[in-house]
Structures are given as C-alpha cells and as structure tokens.
C-alpha cells in the first residue's frame, strides 16, 4: 500500500509534468495560430489562382507536358519534422507504403525521410522545411521537380500529404500536381500583354507552385493541430491524475491523523483507569 511519502513524491513528479505539458500546449497554440493565419491568408490567394486555372486549364497544363510518358511517376511525400503529433505521420506513411506504385520518391520532412530509410525505400532527394514553411523553401522543391520533368526522368508528379479537414481531422491523400486532361470553356476573351504565350507560361509556374505551397502549408498546419491536440490531452490527463493523487494523499493523511488520535485517546484512557 502506498505511503503518504511515496504519494507525495509521485505528486511532485506529476505536477512537474503538468507544468511542462502546459508550457508546451501554450507554445504549440501560438504556432498553430500563426500557421492558421498563414493558411487562411494564402488560401484566398490560392483560390484566385485556381479559379484562373480552371478557365485556361489545357493551356496551363501544356507548359509542363509529360515529355517522357514511359518514365516513372514522381511521388512527393510530405510529412512533419517532429513527433509528438500522435499518429499524424505514421498514418500518412502507412497509407503511402501500402498504396505505393513503383516510381521515384522525393521526401519532405525528417519523419518521412527517416521512415523511408528504415523501410529501405530509396528517396531521390530530401527536403526539410521550417515549422512555418517559406515560399522560397518550397520553390527549391518545385524547381527540382520541374528539372526532373524537363529532363524526361519522370512522367508525372503526385503529392502524398495529409489534407487538412479541420483541427481534429487530417486525411492522407494522393493528388496530381500537374494535370494533363480536361479543358474548361473560356468565359471571355481577355487581352494578354505582352502576348498570350508569355502570360500563360509565366502564370502557369505561379499556379502550380501555388498548389504545391498550399499542400505543404496544409501538412504543417495539420502537424501543429495534431501536436496541439496531443499536448492538450497530455495536460488534461496529468491534471486529472494530479487531482486524484492529491485526494488520495489527503485521505491517507486524514486516516493517519485519525489513527494517531485514537491511539492517543486509548493511552490517555488507560492512564485514567490506573
């Protein structure tokens, strides 16, 4: 049976855990808020680009043609750099390895790179982004993908990432980066300056880069959401356990005091009889 002293030591340990998890919960709340703001602001920008893409789909797709249809597909696997986010990375990586078709793999994120190395899945190249990925960092990835495509080393590009649904839900998906079919009707005939070909070429790169950057941001946001959820759960569990230990310790103390009083009373009564 646990003594008051042992319970006191446990309580001190749990209270330390409460402080640590509380501090981490606060830190990840700030990071999540920052990423949420970035995602919300960039989402409006991305939506406008995607609306433009739907109007001139076939022309934008022609800027990045599948030059070598016999080449393998390139899979861009996007994970987080850190753990502490529950099954966030494991779910995505299990999904990828289970459904993977032979092709070139480009890894983004430390967790994905480490996992693929353990599974002996060769990665063509690895990229590491900040907790809040910058446009310049993702641009390096985009330029590398474009170089593989132009050199005829790949036939298509698929991004494997956790699509952000809400704070409690992120689902693994595989989506094409460049689409080669489908054509939407133009709503109007705008004027292109200096000419149509130049505008389409320059805009196409921005559109597909925008799509890739949004998916990287989604992954980062999902990772922070999953981490924040884990920290909240750990903090709440630690607080609950701390309260239980404190209650148990107080009961032990009360029982001990009561026993001491009864013992003292008995001794006093014996002396009175004498």
* Tens of pLDDT, residues 6-22: 778 888 888 888 888 88
40-50 burial, b if ≥16 CB within 10 A, otherwise e?
Answer: eeeeeebeebe
Looking at the chain, how many residues does it have?
274
- Report d(CA 99, CA 93) in Å as an integer: 10
Give the pLDDT score at 183. 43
pLDDT band of residue 30 (cuts 50, 70, 90) is: confident
Cα–Cα–Cα angle for 79, 85, 88, rounded to 5 degrees: 50
- Report d(CA 108, CA 223) in Å as an integer: 13
Q: What is the pTM of this model?
A: 0.79
Q: What rounded mean pLDDT belongs to the chain?
A: 83
Give the pLDDT score at 271. 60
What mean pLDDT do residues 208-231 have? 91
Q: Which residues contact 212 (CB under 8 A, 6 or more apart)?
A: 76, 138, 141, 142, 145, 159, 177
| 21-229 belongs to CATH 3.40.1380.10 | yes
Give the pLDDT score at 180. 45
What mean pLDDT do residues 233-241 have? 88
Place of tokens 């130049």: 198
Token duo for residue 109: 């994120």
Q: Say if residue 223's pLDDT is above 80.
A: yes
Q: Quick check: 239 and 40 in contact, CB under 8 A?
A: no
- Crossing angle of helices 4-55 and 196-273, rounded to 10°: 170
pLDDT band of residue 230 (cuts 50, 70, 90) is: confident
What mean pLDDT do residues 77-92 have? 87
What mean pLDDT do residues 53-80 have? 83
Q: Which tens digit of pLDDT belongs to each residue from 251-269?
A: 877 777 676 666 666 665 5
Q: Say if residue 181's pLDDT is above 50.
A: no
């Amino acid at each position: 049976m646990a003594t008051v002293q042992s319970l006191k030591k446990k309580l001190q340990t749990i209270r330390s855990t409460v402080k640590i998890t509380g501090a981490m919960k606060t830190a990840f709340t700030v990071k999540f808020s920052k990423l949420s703001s970035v995602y919300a602001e960039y989402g409006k920008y991305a939506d406008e680009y995607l609306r433009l893409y739907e109007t001139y789909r076939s022309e934008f797709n022609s800027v990045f043609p599948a030059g070598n249809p016999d080449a393998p597909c390139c899979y861009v696997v996007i994970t987080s750099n850190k753990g502490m986010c529950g099954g966030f990375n494991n779910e995505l990586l299990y999904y990828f390895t289970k459904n993977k078709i032979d092709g070139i793999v480009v890894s983004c994120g430390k967790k994905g790179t480490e996992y693929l190395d353990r599974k002996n899945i060769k990665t063509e190249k690895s990229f590491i982004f900040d907790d809040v990925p910058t446009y310049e960092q993702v641009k390096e990835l985009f330029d590398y993908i474009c170089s593989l495509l132009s050199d005829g080393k790949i036939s298509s590009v698929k991004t494997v990432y956790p699509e952000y649904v809400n704070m409690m839900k992120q689902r693994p998906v595989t989506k094409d980066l460049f689409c080669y079919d489908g054509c939407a009707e133009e709503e109007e005939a705008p004027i292109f300056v200096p000419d149509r070909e130049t505008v389409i070429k320059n805009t196409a790169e921005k559109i597909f880069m925008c799509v890739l950057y949004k998916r990287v941001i989604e992954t980062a946001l999902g990772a922070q959401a999953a981490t924040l959820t884990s920290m909240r759960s750990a903090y709440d569990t630690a607080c609950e356990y701390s309260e239980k230990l404190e209650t148990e310790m107080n009961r032990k103390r009360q029982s001990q005091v009561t026993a001491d009083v009864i013992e003292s009373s008995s001794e006093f009564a014996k002396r009175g009889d004498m």
